[in-house]
A and B are shown apart, each in its own frame.
Chain A
């Protein structure tokens, strides 16, 4: 085949450009540390990487939700525990006060104690998390319980509602995070208030009979409610642990897909650099002397 001078130079130029282009691509990978810099580098991988990115964002959001929910539940748990403590003490006082041999003054003294307990218990039930009342059901800006006294009779009214607060704690999974104050607690406060009223009116028969029974029943109900909160706490903690594992997995999958293996990238770059330099030196040699140099 006939070779013209232009042909040789054109070929040399083409090779140099092609090698330089490859070198530039290897350099991009090395400089950014990523295999996928544009969607054209790996179309399917790019879409998968976006999917992973989105999942990561969602998982991080669920993580925030989980710790917030845990704190909410712990506040609820503390509140219910304090109420339980007050209830136990009230029961002890009820046993004391059920003695028919006590004087009215002594009964009044015990009544005063019980009144104190009631206030402490109601205050504990009105616990807040981040400015919101945890036991009011839906109405988190209203204190759940209020003590009213009318005509010498003390009672506790529930001002919240019984609605559930549902939260999504993992994709597609909802959990009711609150215990409405309408569960178990009105019974507790009614029993304690009744005890107080009966002590004040000196009705020792009721105290040792129906009041004691009411306190015991209320206690059972409260324990059930507490157990429910405890179970929820366990559930959230297990969700948190799953979230942590998921975050690690997503992170490592994303990295495998998108990040360049630096050792491979550096080796690639050196290889292409060597190829490019070889092309350059070949091009230099290809500008041969012509016949004219030898003719005298």
Chain B
């Protein structure tokens, strides 16, 4: 038979195990609202049974020796987390895209009565009115001032787009910093977790912390992770390379842009992202960092290119008709817009026109003796106003239709992005619910567990007091 105090030891083990279980339950309850916390549960196992060592065992046989906590495990679904990491960066990309497209459409402010398209139509109807009375100075002044308003409208739109681009660029540096901080922290945690696992214990809270860092990182960049057998988490930047491998992290850096993209030549004022010590720019997309780069280089740049194309067409078409015509002072070859200003940012009315309205060409011919055109000859002005109906030379759509194309493309992209954002939110919400279902604390569960462990603890304590009584009875009886 086992010794006298055998039962007390068994009860003691029970007491300790239940107390440990209550400690874990209390830890869960304390962290019920901690973001990223995975509930922990105790694995109770019977301890090795005692038996009488002999060649010929006799007696009842193996007697149980109680219970112990074999491990504390955390409830965690890796598969769901992989999906959440992917969805976070995709959602950030779509959200940034949607916000950017909304901002861009506010620049144009169409369709309203104060939008960009009104500037265009006002300019051309001013030419039509001038054609009716070419020698009327007030009509000339209207054309000049509408032209200036149109040029300024283009300048302002280009300025707003460029400043949006610069804003995105400024954020690139900040995101790179955040990525570096997080990857460094993950690598540090990897080291600690590997060490703890080496001693045979479960670093549950450290792993939770690492998962929180990973979630933060997934918002900023498009990363994938794999768990190594030794417990370390390797994190890779999709399409670029490893960020964290074991206990080392690879830092990112920014260098001046030296590569032309599909949209524009290299812009040294902007930053490219590289791994520290290298010079090959990384092609990133997804997450806030990838989104900033995509907005800067593709979305906003694409808009700037479209606007520049429209400005170029307006300037070229108007100037080519203008320069072939004659002003009321007989001047010819005077462009309406500054010839070198063919982008939206540089478009401007020729100062020669603004200083001398008579230079505005309205007539198609002059009297050879006087060098002046007939006062009622408004043919050239008519031709310019007809750019409202006819495509410019070499073009297939009118200038207004080109602008409408810009707006409707913007609208389609914006609508698409909004839909994607809403869908993404729904998917993310479902994934988070799934993860929460596995990992989050349910107070009902914890409190019913608490009752269970409390009762078991009380019972074990009671057992000890009964054994105590029994033994003291025995001592009394036998001792006299």
Given A39-B105, A50-B110, are A4 and B131 neighbors across the interface (CB < 8 Å)?
no
Indicate if the CB atoms of B121 and A168 lie closer than 8 Å: no
Indicate if the CB atoms of B374 and A161 lie closer than 8 Å: yes
Q: Which residues of B contact A42 (CB under 8 A)?
A: 411
Given A10-B429, A168-B382, are A2 and B438 neighbors across the interface (CB < 8 Å)?
yes
Q: How many chain A residues touch B (Cβ–Cβ < 8 Å)?
A: 56
Whole-angstrom distance between the Cβ of B189 and the nearest chain A Cβ: 23
* Cα of A296 to Cα of B225 in the assembled complex, Å: 46
**In the complex, A291 has a CB within 8 A of chain B:** yes
**In the complex, A258 has a CB within 8 A of chain B:** yes
* Cα of A264 to Cα of B409 in the assembled complex, Å: 28
Indicate if the CB atoms of B440 and A43 lie closer than 8 Å: no
* Cα of A126 to Cα of B414 in the assembled complex, Å: 62
Q: Which residues of A contact B226 (CB under 8 A)?
A: none
Indicate if the CB atoms of A138 and B128 lie closer than 8 Å: no
8 Å CB contact of A61 from B106, B120, B128, B135: B128
**In the complex, B297 has a CB within 8 A of chain A:** no
Most chain A CB inside 10 Å of its own CB: which residue of B374, B385, B405: B374
Q: How many chain B residues touch A (Cβ–Cβ < 8 Å)?
A: 63
Indicate if the CB atoms of A5 and B442 lie closer than 8 Å: yes
* Cα of A11 to Cα of B425 in the assembled complex, Å: 12
* Cα of A139 to Cα of B367 in the assembled complex, Å: 10
* Cα of A46 to Cα of B410 in the assembled complex, Å: 10
Pick the interface stretch among A52-60, A201-209, A228-236: A52-60
Whole-angstrom distance between the Cβ of A182 and the nearest chain B Cβ: 14
Q: Which residues of A contact B444 (CB under 8 A)?
A: 290-291
User: Binary interface profile of A, 169-193, with partner B (CB < 8 Å = 1, else 0)?
Assistant: 0011000001000000000000000
Indicate if the CB atoms of A53 and B118 lie closer than 8 Å: yes
Indicate if the CB atoms of B111 and A50 lie closer than 8 Å: yes
User: Binary interface profile of B, 336-379, with partner A (CB < 8 Å = 1, else 0)?
Assistant: 00000000000000000000000000000000000000111101
Indicate if the CB atoms of A4 and B411 lie closer than 8 Å: no
**In the complex, B165 has a CB within 8 A of chain A:** no
Q: Which residues of A contact B122 (CB under 8 A)?
A: 57
**In the complex, A263 has a CB within 8 A of chain B:** no
Q: Which residues of B contact A3 (CB under 8 A)?
A: 437, 442
User: Binary interface profile of B, 82-116, with partner A (CB < 8 Å = 1, else 0)?
Assistant: 00000000000000000001100110001101010
Complex interface residues of chain B between 96 and 155 (CB less than 8 A to chain A) = 101-102, 105-106, 110-111, 113, 115, 117-118, 120-122, 125, 128-129, 131-133, 135
Chain B residue at minimum C-beta to C-beta distance from A136: B376
* Cα of A64 to Cα of B133 in the assembled complex, Å: 12
Chain A residue at minimum C-beta to C-beta distance from B382: A168
Whole-angstrom distance between the Cβ of A126 and the nearest chain B Cβ: 15
**In the complex, B451 has a CB within 8 A of chain A:** yes
Most chain B CB inside 10 Å of its own CB: which residue of A4, A14, A46: A4
Whole-angstrom distance between the Cβ of B118 and the nearest chain A Cβ: 7
Indicate if the CB atoms of B388 and A58 lie closer than 8 Å: yes
**In the complex, A277 has a CB within 8 A of chain B:** no
Indicate if the CB atoms of A43 and B442 lie closer than 8 Å: no
Q: Which residues of B contact A167 (CB under 8 A)?
A: 131-132, 382
**In the complex, B407 has a CB within 8 A of chain A:** yes
Q: Which residues of B contact A18 (CB under 8 A)?
A: 425
Indicate if the CB atoms of B442 and A36 lie closer than 8 Å: no
Indicate if the CB atoms of A292 and B407 lie closer than 8 Å: no
**In the complex, B432 has a CB within 8 A of chain A:** yes
Whole-angstrom distance between the Cβ of A280 and the nearest chain B Cβ: 18
Given A38-B105, A46-B407, are A6 and B447 neighbors across the interface (CB < 8 Å)?
no
**In the complex, B475 has a CB within 8 A of chain A:** no
Complex interface residues of chain A between 152 and 177 (CB less than 8 A to chain B) = 161, 163, 165-168, 171-172
Given A47-B405, A54-B121, are A10 and B411 neighbors across the interface (CB < 8 Å)?
no
Given A168-B386, A291-B448, are A60 and B377 neighbors across the interface (CB < 8 Å)?
no
Complex interface residues of chain A between 1 and 45 (CB less than 8 A to chain B) = 1-7, 10-11, 14, 18, 36, 38-44
**In the complex, A68 has a CB within 8 A of chain B:** yes
Chain B residue at minimum C-beta to C-beta distance from A292: B447
Indicate if the CB atoms of A2 and B101 lie closer than 8 Å: no
User: Binary interface profile of B, 382-404, with partner A (CB < 8 Å = 1, else 0)?
Assistant: 10011011000000000011011
**In the complex, B309 has a CB within 8 A of chain A:** no
8 Å CB contact of A168 from B117, B128, B414, B448: B128
Indicate if the CB atoms of A43 and B132 lie closer than 8 Å: no
**In the complex, B433 has a CB within 8 A of chain A:** yes
Given A138-B374, A139-B374, are A47 and B408 neighbors across the interface (CB < 8 Å)?
yes
Q: Which residues of A contact B260 (CB under 8 A)?
A: none
8 Å CB contact of A7 from B110, B405, B440: B440
Most chain A CB inside 10 Å of its own CB: which residue of B389, B400, B411, B415: B411
Whole-angstrom distance between the Cβ of B164 and the nearest chain A Cβ: 16
Q: Which residues of B contact A105 (CB under 8 A)?
A: none
**In the complex, B24 has a CB within 8 A of chain A:** no
Q: Lowest 5 CB-CB distances: which A-B pairs, in order?
A: A43-B411, A39-B411, A40-B414, A138-B374, A4-B440
Write 9 A-B pairs (CB below 8 A) sorted by A numbering.
Answer: A4-B440, A50-B403, A51-B401, A51-B404, A57-B125, A138-B376, A138-B377, A140-B375, A290-B447
Binding site for B on A (CB under 8 A): 1-7, 10-11, 14, 18, 36, 38-44, 46-47, 49-51, 53-54, 57-58, 60-62, 64-65, 68-69, 130, 132, 137-141, 161, 163, 165-168, 171-172, 178, 258, 290-292, 295
Binding site for A on B (CB under 8 A): 32-33, 101-102, 105-106, 110-111, 113, 115, 117-118, 120-122, 125, 128-129, 131-133, 135, 374-377, 379, 382, 385-386, 388-389, 400-401, 403-405, 407-412, 414-415, 417-418, 425, 429, 432-433, 436-444, 447-448, 451
Extra inter-chain contacts (10) besides given A41-B411, A168-B131, CB under 8 Å: A4-B441, A5-B441, A6-B33, A7-B437, A14-B429, A40-B101, A40-B414, A46-B110, A50-B407, A57-B118
